[in-house]
Amino acid sequence: MADYKSSELLRFTTAGSVDDGKSTLIGRLLYDSKSIYQDQYDTIKATSERRGEETVNLALLTDGLKSEREQGITIDVAYRYFSTPKRKFIIADTPGHIQYTRNMVTGASTANVALVLVDARNGVVEQTKRHAIIASLLQIPHLVVCINKMDLVDYKEEAYDKIQRDFEQFAAKLDVKDVHFIPISALEGDNVVNRSTKMPWFEGQTLMYYLENVHIASDHNYIDVRFPVQYVIRPYSDEFHDYRGYAGRVAGGIIKVGDEVTLLPSGFSSKIANIVGAGGDQKEAFPPQSVTILLENDFDLSRGDMIVRKNNQPEVTQDVDIMLCWFDSNKPLKEKGKYTLLHTTQEVRCVIQKIRYKLDINTLHRDEEDSVIGMNDIGRIQIRTTKPLFADAYRKNRITGSVILVDEGTNNTIAAGMIV
Amino acid sequence: MNYHINHLQELESESIFILREVASKFENPVLMFSGGKDSILMVHLAYKAFYPAKVPFTLLHIDTGHNFEETLKFRDELVKKTGAKLIVGSVQDAIDSGMVTEEKGFSASRNGLQTAVLLDELEKGKFDAALGGARRDEEKARAKERFFSHRDDFGQWDPKNQRPELWNLFNAKHNLGEHFRVFPISNWTELDVWQYLAMEKVELPSLYYAHERLVIERDGVLLADSEYIPKKEGEKAFKEMVRCRTIGDVTCTGVWRSDAKTTEDIIEEIATTRMTERGGRTDDKRSETSMEDRKKKGYF
């Protein structure tokens, strides 16, 4: 039981439609890892019986809202939780309908691992490619291709081999570093939590073993120091009279007491005098810790400013190229349109200077003739902001390289972008 | 040096980040405080987020008038200790003034009446953000909730029309009269909460630990014997070793047979239990979509 103090957090995303067995897989993970409570199990058992199903339908564990059941679809990302003695898991369960890009991109934005489900009978289809492309665009560090429904192809190695070959051939064009393949049957429980006895030819690990052991400690950027100032702590009390602490979450690098730092946008230099963490003073801070930083000479920073290391600075710029995913179903992206942009702890306005191309998310083809970016579309654009951003390429840092756009009329979040 | 934090520290860091975002992005935020472990956790995290400055949130307790005595005592001590400002919205006053009508019958509860009182207090106080300790693992409607949940000027939740949340970029834009519900501990499970409270040695109301109490049994759930729960014919109070897994109003909070006397005992118990946390909540059992329906209207 004392294990919980060394347990890591792993976030993963599953994308897919109703038919590829995604809900069954999540149900299976929860059930076989004993994360299901008796009363939950009794409820789905009763529902399965009422519907005349032969076995308990584990997919019902991920059943959602009334309005979703009425329409027979999932409308939104749902978050699910389970843990084993080794790790705590957060699943972003993203539906493949209507707002598929929006949902997948949302789930992918914080994930360490993406599970891509492939139906063993159908092989690599358009939707598989789309999932993989989004995982690659969003720079999810690890990708697992779960070749599901192996029971329906008699657990044959050939089916698995063909899918692995097809996927690898296609993935060569993508920017994914770590891809794993696992043949499973979510329905029968093969290679999900328990090792299958029906696929002796498969020498790899089960999905659960993978999730518990995949190396995620280097998923953050520990090299380039980036500390966006989130909030200024000023106690105004006798005891802490001149206290001015810069609170924030470390976005990159390892910050140490005594380090020489540069303050953006002023460019002034200072030194880290102290770091106060959730457990008290600490000598260093790293992602994703929330800490408060005290500087030796104070230059009155405010929210949106950034503390970085001398000689290692992000680009300070008003002109940025971004890969944009558009979410708004009411209107497309407008060239020359003006939007509010959120980046780290900064909020600025921006104007769309140029739509460079639209990306076909099934083939990766760049269409420079097509400049209509509508719902679910991805395109590369150039923007200009009212104030400089302290920006890194998304490939280098997922936190200092990401933005969202907000519609100034409706206040809705209408796009997500990755700095190129 | 291994640059690695455990899952509790990561959740803590995420929650502190959200609390600081609220303090930065809203003019008048309030923290909904029920006296339960989740809201005690929230106060603890808020203390850390703004140390050594004071917590910049007012506390708001919606009081049904049907409380466990221990809850109110704990609440008042915590307020004294932290120097926080506390507002109490009274369901009794709302009944007396005719704003809401009390339910009748054996399973009458003031649970649903809290929504009207809550929305009224948010409006009176001109609060633009209400921090809540709801968690996504509690219930399927809550599993779809955002960290920053936008509410229209009627306080309603529209699950089909939520703003996507990506990375750690939270869109808190709202028009005058609208407000946000913000849930900093969305990603915590019941077990995480207890493990963290144990790690941090946070003090909790005695109700959470096993104690002997007079109870009645109704529909398979044990309820605390109380003047607020009229007994049906044949129901008789008897003594049991019990504890609360959630603390709400006396009338809808089930108690559990338990011997867990310490926080570590509770962690052990939860890790092996076969029943969900809200399994003893009669307010959730009214229908399959009872939480979803209440949430849409503006419940916690």
Round the average pLDDT of chain B to a whole number and report it: 86
- In this predicted structure, the answer to whether residue A75 has a pLDDT above a threshold of 70 is no
Phi, psi values for residue B135, rounded to 5°: -125, 150
Kindly tell me the burial class for residue A254, based on how many C-beta atoms sit within 10 Å of its own C-beta (0-12, 13-18, 19 or more): middle
Kindly indicate the confidence band of residue B161, based on its pLDDT and cuts at 50, 70 and 90: confident
Q: Which residue of A has its CA nearest to B20?
A: A231
Q: Average pLDDT for residues A306-333, to the nearest whole number?
A: 95
- Kind plus residue range of the DSSP H or E element containing B297: helix B290-297
In a domain, A258, yes or no: yes
Q: Which of A79, A235, A288 sits opposite B143 (nearest CB)?
A: A79
Do residues A76 and A11 share a domain?
Answer: yes
CB-based contacts of B78, cutoff 8 Å, min separation 6: B40, B43, B84
Do residues A335 and A357 share a domain?
Answer: yes
Do residues A265 and A175 share a domain?
Answer: no
How are beta strands A378-391 and A338-343 bridged, if at all? unpaired
CATH number of the domain encompassing residue A303: 2.40.30.10
* Final residue in a domain of this structure, among A246, A280, A309: A309
Do residues A301 and A160 share a domain?
Answer: no
- Put simply, the answer to whether A249 touches B13 (Cβ < 8 Å) is yes
Do residues A10 and A152 share a domain?
Answer: yes
In a domain, A99, yes or no: yes
Lowest mean pLDDT among A14-18, A233-237, B90-94: A14-18
CB-based contacts of A286, cutoff 8 Å, min separation 6: A220, A222, A250, A253, A254, A255, B3
Would you state the pLDDT for residue B23?
A: 97
Kindly indicate the confidence band of residue A1, based on its pLDDT and cuts at 50, 70 and 90: very low
In a domain, A221, yes or no: no
Kindly indicate the confidence band of residue B177, based on its pLDDT and cuts at 50, 70 and 90: confident
Both tokens assigned to A129:
């490619």
Do residues A303 and A401 share a domain?
Answer: no
Would you state the pLDDT for residue B28?
A: 95
In a domain, A58, yes or no: yes
CB-based contacts of B4, cutoff 8 Å, min separation 6: A8, A217
In a domain, A57, yes or no: yes
Residue A188: give the domain boundaries: 2-213
Amino acid at B122: L
In a domain, A115, yes or no: yes
- Put simply, the answer to whether A65 touches B140 (Cβ < 8 Å) is yes
In a domain, A218, yes or no: no
Would you state the pLDDT for residue A185?
A: 95
* Final residue in a domain of this structure, among A213, A236, A258: A213
- Put simply, the answer to whether B162 touches A9 (Cβ < 8 Å) is no
Q: Which of A235, A243, A404 sits opposite B166 (nearest CB)?
A: A404
Kindly indicate the confidence band of residue A44, based on its pLDDT and cuts at 50, 70 and 90: confident
* Final residue in a domain of this structure, among A289, A309, A329: A309
- Put simply, the answer to whether A38 touches B195 (Cβ < 8 Å) is no
Cβ contacts below 8 Å, chain A against chain B, sum to 186
What are the tens digits of pLDDT across the range B26-73? 999 999 998 889 999 999 999 999 999 999 999 999 988 888 888 888
- In this predicted structure, the answer to whether residue A76 has a pLDDT above a threshold of 90 is no
Round the average pLDDT of chain A to a whole number and report it: 90
What are the tens digits of pLDDT across the range A111-168? 999 999 999 999 998 888 888 988 999 999 999 999 999 999 999 999 999 999 999 9
Q: How many domains does chain A have?
A: 3
- Put simply, the answer to whether A290 touches B49 (Cβ < 8 Å) is yes
Would you state the pLDDT for residue A2?
A: 45
Kindly indicate the confidence band of residue A333, based on its pLDDT and cuts at 50, 70 and 90: very high
- In this predicted structure, the answer to whether residue A71 has a pLDDT above a threshold of 80 is no
- In this predicted structure, the answer to whether residue B76 has a pLDDT above a threshold of 60 is yes
Q: Average pLDDT for residues B65-90, to the nearest whole number?
A: 87
Kindly indicate the confidence band of residue A33, based on its pLDDT and cuts at 50, 70 and 90: confident
- Put simply, the answer to whether A345 touches B17 (Cβ < 8 Å) is no
What are the tens digits of pLDDT across the range B138-155? 877 788 889 999 988 777
**Chain B residues touching residue A249 (CB < 8 angstroms):** 13, 17, 168
Q: What domains, with CATH codes, occur in chain B?
A: 7-192+288-297 (3.40.50.620), 205-280 (no CATH)
Would you state the pLDDT for residue A118?
A: 93
In a domain, A219, yes or no: no
**Chain A residues touching residue B186 (CB < 8 angstroms):** 79
Do residues A208 and A65 share a domain?
Answer: yes
What are the tens digits of pLDDT across the range B246-289? 887 777 777 888 899 999 999 888 877 767 776 666 666 556 67
Do residues A19 and A137 share a domain?
Answer: yes
Amino acid at A84: T
Would you state the pLDDT for residue B173?
A: 94
Do residues A295 and A322 share a domain?
Answer: no
Would you state the pLDDT for residue B280?
A: 60
Lowest mean pLDDT among A27-31, A205-209, A244-248: A27-31
- In this predicted structure, the answer to whether residue A98 has a pLDDT above a threshold of 80 is no
Q: Which of A75, A284, A289 sits opposite B160 (nearest CB)?
A: A75
- In this predicted structure, the answer to whether residue A100 has a pLDDT above a threshold of 80 is no
Q: What's the Cα-to-Cα distance from A269 to each of A242, A263, A346, rounded to whole Å?
A: 20, 6, 21
Three-state secondary-structure class, residue B61: strand
Q: Average pLDDT for residues A313-335, to the nearest whole number?
A: 94
Do residues A66 and A123 share a domain?
Answer: yes
- Put simply, the answer to whether A83 touches B4 (Cβ < 8 Å) is no
Both tokens assigned to B158:
């529209």
**Chain A residues touching residue B8 (CB < 8 angstroms):** 4-5
More confidently predicted of A412 and B92: A412
CATH number of the domain encompassing residue A18: 3.40.50.300
Three-state SS letters, chain B: CCCCCCHHHHHHHHHHHHHHHHHHHCCCEEEECCCCHHHHHHHHHHHHHHCCCCCCCEEEEEECCCCCHHHHHHHHHHHHHHCCCEEEEEHHHHHHCCCCCCCCCCCCCCCCHHHHHHHHHHHHCCCCEEECCCCHHHCCCHHHCCCEEEECCCCCCCHHHCCCCECCECCCCCCCCCEEEECCCCCCCHHHHHHHHHHHCCCCCHHHCCEEEEEEEECCEEEECCCCCCCCCCCCCEEEEEEECCCCCCCCEEEEECCCCCHHHHHHHHHHCCCCHHHHECCCCCCCCHHHHHHHHCCC
Do residues A327 and A255 share a domain?
Answer: no
- In this predicted structure, the answer to whether residue A235 has a pLDDT above a threshold of 60 is yes
Probe site for chain B from A5, A74, A88, A222 (most B CB atoms < 10 A) = A88
Would you state the pLDDT for residue B278?
A: 67
Is the Cα torsion angle B220, B225, B231, B234 positive or negative in sign?
positive
Alpha carbon of B166: minimum distance to chain A alpha carbons (Å)? 5
pLDDT-above-70 percentage for chain B: 95
Report ipTM for this prediction.
0.94
Do residues A207 and A230 share a domain?
Answer: no
Q: Which residue of A has its CA nearest to B166?
A: A106
Both tokens assigned to B80:
């004294």
Q: Average pLDDT for residues A253-269, to the nearest whole number?
A: 96
Alpha carbon of B53: minimum distance to chain A alpha carbons (Å)? 4
Kindly indicate the confidence band of residue A352, based on its pLDDT and cuts at 50, 70 and 90: very high
- In this predicted structure, the answer to whether residue B296 has a pLDDT above a threshold of 80 is no
Please name which of A117, A179, A126, A175 lies closest in space to residue A150, comparing C-alpha atoms. Answer: A117
Would you state the pLDDT for residue A214?
A: 95
